[in-house]
Amino acid sequence: MTRIENVVCSFCGCLCDDIIIEVEDNCITAAKKACANGRSRFLNVHTQAAQPTVDGKEVDWPQAIDAAARILTDAAFPLIYGLSSTASEAQRKVIALADLLGATIDSTSSVCHGPTTIGIQSQGEPTCTLGEIKHRADLVIFWGCNPTEAHPRHYARYSVLARGKLTPQGRKDRTVVLVDVRPTASSKKADIFLQVRPGCDFDVLNALRALLKGRDLDVDEVGGVSVAQLQDLVGRMKDCRFGVIFFGMGVTQTGGKHLNVTELLALVAELNAHTRFTTMPMRGHGNVAGADSTLTWQTGYPFAVNFARGYPQYNPGEFTAVDMLARGEADAALAIASDPVAHFPRQAAQRLSQIPTIVLDPEMSLTAQVARVVLPTAIYGISAAGTAYRMDNVPLPLKRVVDSPQPTDEQVLDWMIERVKTCSA
Query: Which one of 69-77, 216-224, 271-279, 372-380 is the stretch in contact with another protein (CB under 8 A)?
Result: 271-279
Other C-beta atoms within 10 Å of 302: how many?
A: 26
- Using DSSP's 3-state secondary structure scheme, residue 333 falls into strand
Site for another protein in 393-412 (CB under 8 A): 393-397
Residues 223-242: x where in contact with another protein by CB under 8 A, - otherwise, as a string:
------------------xx
Out of 50, 209, 314, 363, which residue is the one contacting another protein (CB under 8 A)?
314
For residue 186, the tally of other CB atoms under 10 A from its CB is 23
Closest C-alpha among 379, 380, 373 to residue 415? 373
Shortest Cβ 134–another protein spacing (Å): 6
The one-letter code for the residue type at 11 is F
Minimal distance in Å, beta carbon 121 to another protein?
5
Closer residue to another protein in complex, CB, 376/386 = 386
Residues numbered 140 to 179 that lie near another protein (CB under 8 A) are 157-158, 165
Write down how long the chain is.
Answer: 425
Q: In degrees rounded to 5, what are phi and psi of residue 168?
A: -65, -25
CB of 174 or CB of 372, closer to another protein: 174
Distance (Å, rounded) from C-alpha 53 to C-alpha 36?
Answer: 32
Query: What whole-number distance in Å separates Cα of residue 232 and Cα of residue 304?
Result: 40
How many chain residues bind another protein (CB under 8 A)?
Answer: 60
The answer to the question of residue 311 lying near another protein (CB under 8 A) is yes
Tell which one of 32, 33, 70, 92 touches another protein (CB under 8 A). Answer: 92
Q: In a 3-state reduction of DSSP, which class is residue 383?
A: coil
Binding mask 115-144 for another protein (x = CB under 8 A): --x--xxxxxxxxxxxxx-xxx--------
186 binds another protein (CB under 8 A): no
In the complex, minimum distance from the CB of residue 285 to another protein, in angstroms, rounded to a whole number: 18
Interface stretch with another protein, choices 52-60, 295-303, 352-360, 408-416 (CB under 8 A): 295-303
User: 3-state DSSP call for residue 280?
Assistant: strand
10 Å CB burial of residue 72 (0-12, 13-18, 19+) is buried
Q: Which is nearer to another protein, 63 or 127 (CB)?
A: 127
Phi/psi of residue 193, nearest 5 degrees: -120, 125
Query: Pick from 292, 323, 361, 410: which binds another protein (CB under 8 A)?
Result: 292
Q: How far is the CB of 175 from another protein (least distance, A)?
A: 19
For residue 78, list its beta bridge partners: 332
**Neighbouring C-beta atoms of residue 246, cutoff 10 Å:** 24
Element (H, E) at 27: strand 27-32
Neighbours of 296 (CB within 10 A): 14
364: left (phi over 0), alpha (psi -120 to 50) or beta: beta
Stretch that binds another protein, among 20-28, 62-70, 296-304, 333-341 (CB under 8 A): 296-304
C-alpha dist (Å) from residue 150 to 185, 206, 351:
10, 27, 29
Q: For another protein, give the closer residue by CB, 127 or 350.
A: 127
One character per residue 97-116, x = contact with another protein (rule: CB under 8 A): --xx----------------
Using CB under 8 A, list all residues that contact another protein.
Answer: 5-6, 8, 17-18, 88, 92, 96, 99-100, 117, 120-132, 134-136, 157-158, 165, 241-242, 269, 272, 275-276, 278, 292-294, 296-302, 307, 309-312, 314, 387, 389, 393-397
